[in-house]
Amino acid sequence: MQGITIKNILEKKGKEPITCLTAYSKPMAEIIDKYCDIILVGDSVGMVLYGMKTTREVKIETLILHGKAVKNSAKRSFVVFDMPHKTYSNKFIAYKNVKKVMKSTKCDAVKLEGGRKIVNIIKYLTKKGIPVMGHIGLLPQSSKVFKLKGKNLIQKKQILQDAMALSNSGVFAIVIECVVESLAKKITDSVSVPTIGIGASKYCDGQILVTDDMIGLSNFRPRFVKKYSNVKKIIEKSVKNYCSDIKRRKFPSSQNVYRF
């Protein structure tokens, strides 16, 4: 099966919406791989699977394990590794950690949060042949409060400048998180690379959500998340029925035991 490439992603800008979701495990990656253009091995794993309060607590060694599982299971989707907090504080540290990630996981690209402040780091990585996805707007690794961005002229100007700087630094795509609709549209129209929105309107070139939020497995319910199912209820019902069958001695039945 032919895998999706950066060329394929770039060609979709302004033509065909790009589909993206997060994955941290083999079963989820195998499902998402059938439909999504991009799978993000997100640092959101810390909050979703480990009960951490922020993404800043995620360690690179932990995320590498998830990255291996996802990349080994994805045959079609383009897999992006979310570089954890403090793993790219300067270009030399960034390159060292990114090399470790790429060698260990075989992921197709990495994602870094930030705008103009990290442009030199991104330029250094891309010159070394590392594919990089940018991330602007709300930055979970550095934001203490979850707030909509771009509500005033100063923020709009700063975020647009960040987007332009990233676009010129060599990134192949930019995630825009939690910004007002008009700003997301302006950024998408202004930059040459595809934009991937999360809480940033239909005007972006693509969309991404945390899969566990989208399927109703998490308790995170921001305005921008659409719940396509309620997996938590399905699991709870299954567990309840399982325990009930045991108490009533209905499980294991004759079909669930071995006889000679």
- Active centre residues (catalytic): 177
Q: Are 109 and 172 in contact (CB under 8 A)?
A: yes
DSSP 111: E
Q: Which of 216, 116, 128, 214 is nearest to 174 (CA)?
A: 116
Q: Burial level of 258, CB count in 10 A (0-12/13-18/19+)?
A: exposed
The CB density around residue 26, as the number of other CB atoms within 10 Å, is 14
Please tell me whether residue 217 adopts helix, strand or coil conformation: coil
Beta strands in 109-194 (DSSP E): 109-111, 132-137, 173-177
Residue corresponding to tokens 């990585």: 125
- Ordered DSSP codes for 169-191: TT-SEEEEESB-HHHHHHHHHH-
